Amino acid sequence: MKINVVALAAALAFASSSGFAHDMGAMGTMGHGAAPVYAFGEPGKAAKVDRTIAITMHDLSFEPSNVAVKKGETIRFVVVNASSIDHDFTVGDQKTEVEHRAEMAKMIGMGMTHGDEANAIMLKSGQRKELLWKFSKSGKFEFDCNIPGHAESGMTGTIDVAAALK
């Protein structure tokens, strides 16, 4: 039993000293601590969904790659991975996307993957998942696949949040 406790302590010490800790404000709480504050909105509630937007993931693209949302709308993104490879779907501002991309590169380098978070879902080939998001601020935001090399190859999308839809 002492060996397991020592191994656990060593693993925790490595994780905290390696810079592997999540940015709690940008990436979600992962089940720990207070709920994060996002600069681009907040997790949506199923009872408050205004509209559903279907997103299909292809090898290195999203369809559609641009969506328009009204400020205050809660959107149910229904995401289907029609590709033969795994993908990530993250809603965020540019800062969040860059941070998530760097974090995923570290995780993959360590042989790990991330689970679903308030603003991000991981989909295996053929999988379908939903992400609920309330867009409480106007502006231009993104949805990206942050698996290393995917966003850089064009697997990005834009979300235009305006006071009113055209």
Going from N- to C-terminal start, the domains of the chain cover 40-162
Percent of the chain, pLDDT > 70?
Answer: 78
Cis peptide before 36 (omega within 30 of 0): no
Give the model's confidence band at 18: pLDDT under 50 very low, under 70 low, under 90 confident, else very high.
very low
C-alpha distances out from residue 18 to 14, 103, 108, 117, 118, Å: 6, 12, 14, 22, 24
Give the model's confidence band at 97: pLDDT under 50 very low, under 70 low, under 90 confident, else very high.
very high
- pLDDT exceeds cutoff 80 at 35: no
CATH of domain 40-162: 2.60.40.420
Q: What pTM value is reported for the model?
A: 0.77
Model confidence pLDDT, tens digit, residues 126-144: 999 999 999 999 999 999 9
Q: What pLDDT score does 25 carry? A: 35
Report how far apart the first and last C-alpha atoms of the chain are (Å, whole number): 64
